[in-house]
């Protein structure tokens, strides 16, 4: 039983401290205050479900953690369990049994041992199974199978089912390809042989073409060398012509052999330079003599400076004019020779630069061998195109051959698979019969046990609705017969579904397990007033009859809860949750 509930920062509750001191407790609150939040908190605190990621924003706004703490009385053992949820999804678990710490695995084993069922079934019985249109309401089959020792049979059936799934996939695969006939294999073999011969012929032709291309390569290379030589010779001639054009007027025989022309002009210019230098020297001597004679005549006292005879004034003047004219003529010759010497030197410099520029040019060298002509390059290009085409054809035939070999291999496997198909289908048939037989035997055991419970479920339904129709089977399925149709839980009205689940949970909690506490979240709200009263009285009667030890009901039906508490004050208690207390 659950004796005390403490919540901190859980959804709408900043704090909640609730002591359950009655066998039946009605938790009364208006809509939106937190009735379902309380049930969700206890469910998570007791079993750790739902998983933290499904709790959403269970941590109250403005806080980082929420805590649920439950005080339990489990077979005279005082158990306290505390779960703390962090906003990021992390969970911390702590529990004690009679004051001694226990881990979560030992805590779950304790509940399973004392309450007589695994945690999954206990959760469905205590808080209700999820029914969203599916037929299954309660996961009881494995529980019953353990009780009656049927589990090995069900495990064997499950193994057979897995094996049948594998066989079904294999059968589909084998049936998808039944093409491995003798005729298809013969045709595929012939196609492989034909492509092998074609590939050999293409390879031989390709080898011959490659040999021819190799032979043509040398001639084409020589032809390319001659083409390059002609281009280089033309460029060389253009450069020489440009130099010669620049030397026009400086050299005389530029159309003759250039080396001889340069040497001849250089000799001529050098000879002219030497001649000019010698003539200049002679002129300079003549000028010096004339200047010396004029100087002597100017310094003499009327005598000839050479013969020392007396000179008449007229003779002296005539001699001065003669020497002065000679000096002037000599200086004119000196200037003329300076100009000619400069031109000779410029010509020598120009000839030297021309020779250097010409020497800097490298005349191209003819290739070693006669020119085979441009057709050699064309022939090589043709040989290469042929080789490339044959290589491409070789690749195509190789791909076709590989595909043909793969097809032949597939057909051969298909031929072998056809014989395996019959054997596989035979195995599947045997396993199908075996699986059906095992399930029939297991269902017989389980149905025999569940039949009294199913009758009681139908009886309780009839008391409320006044008609037969609710069925409960060994798989935990609830359904309602309507004429020839069978409706699952999700197809029923809210009142019908609520009633069916309430009466079934009360019975199963006592017959399949020893769950001492059962919680109902707003079970009365979908019922009309008469049935609402009947169901509420049934819940109180279940505790009074010892079916379960504790029931908690969330509701906003305060008046009904007050009437029941007034009739059975020792059994029924009310507690309230309002926005002021949350």
pTM score of the predicted model: 0.52
Cα maximum dimension of the chain: 191
Instruction: Name which CATH class applies to 2-140+476-576.
Output: alpha beta
Q: What is the pLDDT of residues 205-225, one digit of tens each?
A: 889 988 888 888 888 888 888
Pick the CATH number of 248-360 from 1.10.287.510, 3.30.70.260, 2.60.40.10, 1.10.1380.10: 1.10.287.510
- The ranges assigned to domains in the chain are 2-140+476-576, 248-360
Q: Is 149 exposed, middle or buried (0-12, 13-18, 19+ CB in 10 A)?
A: exposed
pLDDT tens for each residue of 261-276: 777 777 887 888 888 8
Q: Which DSSP symbol is given to 52?
A: G
- Beta strands, E only, 290-413: none
- At 266 the pLDDT is 77
- The pLDDT tens digits of the residues spanning 26-72 come to 999 888 788 889 999 999 999 998 776 677 678 998 899 999 999 99
Of residues 174 and 190, more confidence is placed in: 190
If you average pLDDT over residues 71-87, what whole number do you get? Answer: 93
pLDDT digits (tens, 9 = 90+) for 246-257: 776 666 555 557
Sequence-separated (6 or more) residues with CB below 8 Å from residue 390: 202, 205, 206, 209
Give residue 582's pLDDT band: very low, low, confident or very high (50, 70, 90). very low
Mean pLDDT across the chain: 80
Out of 80-94, 214-228, 331-345, 452-466, give the one with best mean pLDDT.
80-94
Main-chain phi, psi angles of 415, to 5 degrees: -60, -40
Distance CA 101, CA 78 (A): 12
* pLDDT tier at 110, thresholds 50, 70, 90: very high
């Amino acid at each position: 039983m659950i004796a005390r509930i403490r919540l901190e920062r859980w959804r709408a509750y900043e704090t909640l401290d609730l002591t359950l001191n009655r066998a039946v407790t009605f938790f009364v609150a208006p809509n939106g205050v937190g009735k379902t939040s309380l049930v969700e908190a206890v469910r998570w605190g007791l079993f750790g479900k739902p998983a933290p990621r499904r709790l959403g924003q269970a941590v109250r706004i403005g806080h980082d953690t929420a805590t649920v703490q439950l005080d339990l009385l489990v077979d005279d053992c005082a158990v306290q369990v505390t779960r703390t949820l962090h906003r990021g999804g992390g969970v911390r678990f702590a529990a004690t049994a009679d004051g001694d710490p226990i881990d979560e695995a030992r805590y779950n084993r304790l509940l399973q041992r004392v309450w007589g069922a695994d945690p999954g079934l206990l959760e469905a019985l205590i808080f209700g199974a999820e029914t969203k249109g599916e037929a299954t309401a309660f996961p009881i089959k494995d529980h019953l199978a353990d009780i009656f020792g049927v589990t090995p049979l069900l495990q064997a059936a499950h193994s057979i089912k897995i094996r049948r799934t594998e066989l079904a996939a294999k059968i589909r695969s084998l049936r998808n390809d039944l093409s491995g006939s003798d005729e298809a294999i013969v045709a595929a073999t012939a196609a492989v042989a034909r492509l092998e011969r074609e590939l050999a012929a293409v390879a031989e032709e390709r080898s011959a073409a490659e040999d021819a291309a190799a032979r043509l390569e040398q001639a084409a290379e020589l032809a390319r060398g001659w083409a390059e030589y002609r281009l280089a010779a033309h460029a060389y001639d253009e450069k020489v012509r440009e130099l010669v054009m620049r030397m026009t007027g400086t050299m005389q025989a530029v159309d003759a052999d250039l080396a001889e022309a340069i040497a001849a002009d250089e000799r001529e210019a050098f000879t002219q330079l030497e001649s000019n230098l010698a003539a200049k020297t002679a002129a300079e001597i003549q000028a010096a003599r004339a200047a010396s004679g004029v100087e002597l005549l100017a310094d003499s006292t009327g005598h000839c400076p050479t013969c020392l005879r007396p000179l008449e004034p007229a003779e002296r003047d005539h001699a001065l004019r003669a020497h002065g004219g000679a000096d002037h003529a000599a200086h004119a010759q000196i200037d003329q020779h300076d100009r000619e010497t400069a031109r000779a030197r410029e010509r020598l410099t120009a000839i030297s630069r021309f020779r250097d520029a010409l020497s800097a040019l490298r005349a191209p060298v003819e290739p070693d061998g006669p020119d085979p002509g441009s057709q050699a390059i064309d022939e090589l290009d043709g040989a290469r195109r042929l080789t490339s085409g044959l290589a491409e054809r070789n690749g195509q035939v190789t791909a076709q051959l590989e595909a043909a070999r793969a097809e032949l291999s597939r057909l051969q496997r298909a031929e072998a698979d056809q014989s395996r198909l019959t054997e596989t289908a035979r195995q599947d048939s045997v396993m199908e019969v075996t699986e059906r037989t095992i399930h029939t035997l297991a269902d017989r055991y389980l149905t025999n046990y569940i039949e009294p419970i199913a009758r009681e479920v139908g009886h309780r339904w009839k008391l409320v609705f006044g008609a037969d129709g609710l069925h409960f089977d060994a798989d935990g399925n609830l359904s309602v017969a309507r004429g020839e149709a069978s409706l699952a839980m999700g197809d029923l009205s809210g009142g019908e579904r609520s009633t069916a689940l309430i009466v079934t949970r009360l019975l199963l909690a006592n017959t399949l397990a020893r769950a001492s506490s059962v919680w109902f979240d707003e079970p009365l709200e979908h019922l009309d007033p008469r049935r609402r009263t009947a169901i509420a009285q049934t819940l109180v009667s279940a505790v009074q009859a010892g079916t379960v030890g504790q029931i908690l009901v969330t509701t906003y039906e305060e008046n009904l809860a007050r009437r029941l508490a007034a009739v059975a004050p020792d059994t029924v208690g009310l507690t309230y949750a309002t926005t002021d207390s949350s």
